[in-house]
Chains A and B, each alone.
Chain A
Amino acid sequence: MAAPQSQSKVVEWIDHRLPIFTFMRHELHEYPTPKNLSYWWNFGSLAGIMLVIMILTGIFLAMEYTPNVDLAFDSVERIMRQVNYGWLIRYIHMNGASFFFIVTYIHIFRGLYYGSYKAPRELLWMLGVLILLTMMATAFMGYVLPWGQMSFWGATVITNLFSAIPVVGNDIVTWLWGGFAVANPTLNRFYALHYLLPFVILGIVGLHIMALHTHGSNNPLGIDRKGPQDSIPFHPYYTVKDAFGLGVFLIIFAVFVFYFPNLLGDPQNYIRANPLQTPPEIVPEWYFLPFYAMLRSVPDILFIKAKLAGVIAMFSSIFILFVLPWLDTSPVRSARFRPVYKWVFWLLVIDVLVLGYVGAHRPEGWYVFTGRVATLYYFVHFLVLIPLIGIFERPLPLPTSISAAVTKGGGKLAGAAARMEKP
């Protein structure tokens, strides 16, 4: 490891005692990255930036918010009307949740398409699934805090999921509530946890990045880097590319924050929570719709009642991702070289979109049938198609190296890109 060519004596002095500059140089400047990463590789850093934006805006919202059933709703309205720029901070936080999920979902599907979960990146992938789970818990509890109608009834419905657990279910629900129903103790603990969990996510993200930097990024070809001719330093090449992607992303985000701040929310949540009246339609935030659809779709299966079966299906749909690296029997990572999987991947995307569509509607008539088929297909994809395709599919020939795919030749050292700048 080369010592940093320090610019100043101060940097040198610090680095000799606490090698943070060496560390940063090693993880950013020297960190070798495949030179063929596409824009689909932007979404990891975007998710990281969203996490920072959420924590930052959240801290300032927490300074004005009051976690009490009698005061919470008014305190949020006060943020909107009285606090300097409170409307902006809240709209960023509110829409930030949606955009955090958008970039995370794209990040996950990118991993599915290019086989980023395969050896030696299984733990990297599993840490990612863990981040997703923690994110979902955080988002759910955050949605409860404004104490509107959807907050209250969403909290009621989701906490009641646990009552489906045999024998101890009801006790668990009471324990979650801290009372006889969703009430002040529930709101208080949700607030405490909503503040805590993002920092837990931050910790897991640290491990996620540590695992990433152990074997480096996967790439669109899904093949390992064969040597220095296949990689470029992360900085400045991908810092610049990430920064450009961030600029584009922030423009879209700003359009929502400033022009359509309530488009992704539910107007019911601007009505104060009323424990005596359930709104005509209970719909979770859009990012939970596919899972919500699964929850409602599953019928009675043998001796398992539909209620429990739905809960099992919903949780399994995430937990199944933990074992995906071992369900996939194909040694080829990138779908680019997997003629069958490539199509099955897009079927899964459509399936999840269909589930989301079904989840947004009342479970009646056609929606029930579609929901059941889509739920079944989701599990068939992971439990049947993925293992079988790996066995029967004939992958296309892989390029010998990352450079070979680009240059049709061996590719030379010192990075072709560097020389192309000065013709």
Chain B
Amino acid sequence: MAETARPGPMDAHGPEGGTRRDFLSLAATAVAGIGAACAVWPLITSMNPASDTLAAGAPIDIDISGIQPGQQIIVLWRSRPIFIVHRTPDQIATLKADKDAGQLRDPNSSADQQGAYAKNVYRSIKPELLVLVGICTHLGCVPEFTPQPGSISPNWPGGYFCPCHGSRYDLAGRVFQNVPAPYNLPVPPYHFVSDTVIRIGENPPDSTFDFNSIEQI
């Protein structure tokens, strides 16, 4: 291919260092680049949740009248497990003790993992009814419900134990110290439609809690 190894016209530059051709090349390349970027955008954004997927994330109503004291049910909201626990008076009593024992990473729920209506020692609207997103804040596994005191370790007050990497939470979903999980389990937006029905995905009327703004699912 020696015959083509010769100075091509592209090497011909004006004395001032920039020619009309350089300008045209740059302009054309820029327009083509912007066009390509615009063409790629629909492809990229097509991978975001589709309209029906978003619509399926609407609030759901759950009848809680059948949940017995000490029992947990799990429902699915936005493809995520939601824990609903009817706590016994004994269990409620452990929450205060947990907080005072100084073993919790965030005993006062100061991290933004719940709305103001759940920023209390119970992390719930009514002390007996706990609602949590059942996803470990470490790496997304579903923690096991282990309410029996002493079942995990001799001084276990009852709570949640994540089988993946051993993270522990108490019966209000507050994370213990010295486990991999950094935050308390999130409380989803919910409120009482009636005494026996809660609506998950919707705040009480006076709250503006934005679930998308929480620290971590």
Contacts and interface: CB of A to CB of B under 8 A. Distances in A.
A244 to B, nearest CB: 10
A199 B12 CA distance: 41
A285 B10 CA distance: 45
Contact of A228 (B3, B48, B52): B3
Contacts of B42: 84-85, 88-89
A2 B3 CA distance: 11
Interface in A67-122: 78, 81-86, 88-89
B1 A83 contact: no
Contact of B46 (A85, A228, A413, A414): A85
B97 interface: no
B43 A83 contact: no
Contacts of A57: 43
Contacts of A193: none
A372 B164 CA distance: 71
B52 A78 contact: yes
A32 interface: yes
Nearest to B49: A84
Given A26-B1, A78-B50, A81-B51, A414 B43 contact: no
A415 B9 contact: yes
A1 interface: yes
A236 interface: yes
B47 to A, nearest CB: 7
A82 B10 contact: no
Contacts of B43: 56-57, 60, 85, 89
A89 B3 CA distance: 45
Given A415-B9, A418-B9, A421-B9, A64 B4 contact: no
A81 B53 CA distance: 12
Interface in B21-79: 28, 32, 42-43, 45-48, 50-53
B101 interface: no
B4 A418 contact: no
Given A89-B46, A233-B8, A82 B53 contact: yes
Interface string A387-423: 0000000000000000000000000011101100110
Contacts of A78: 50, 52
Nearest to A86: B46
Contacts of A2: 2, 5
Contacts of A418: 8-9, 12
A30 interface: yes
Contacts of B53: 82
Most buried by B among A26, A30, A81, A84: A84
Contacts of A32: 1, 3-4
A86 B48 CA distance: 11
Contacts of B2: 2
A63 B47 contact: yes
Contacts of A227: 3
A83 B50 CA distance: 4
Contacts of B5: 2, 30
Contacts of B8: 233, 418
Interface string B88-107: 00000000000000000000
A85 B51 CA distance: 11
12 contacts: A30-B4, A32-B4, A64-B50, A81-B51, A81-B52, A82-B50, A82-B53, A85-B45, A86-B50, A228-B4, A414-B6, A422-B12
Given A78-B52, A81-B52, 15 more contacts: A2-B5, A26-B1, A30-B1, A30-B5, A57-B43, A60-B47, A64-B46, A83-B51, A84-B45, A84-B48, A85-B42, A86-B46, A89-B42, A414-B6, A422-B12
Interface of B: 1-6, 8-10, 12, 28, 32, 42-43, 45-48, 50-53
Closest 5 CB pairs of A and B: A85-B42, A228-B3, A418-B9, A82-B50, A82-B52
Interface of A: 1-2, 26, 30-32, 56-57, 60, 63-64, 78, 81-86, 88-89, 227-228, 231, 233, 236, 243, 413-415, 417-418, 421-422
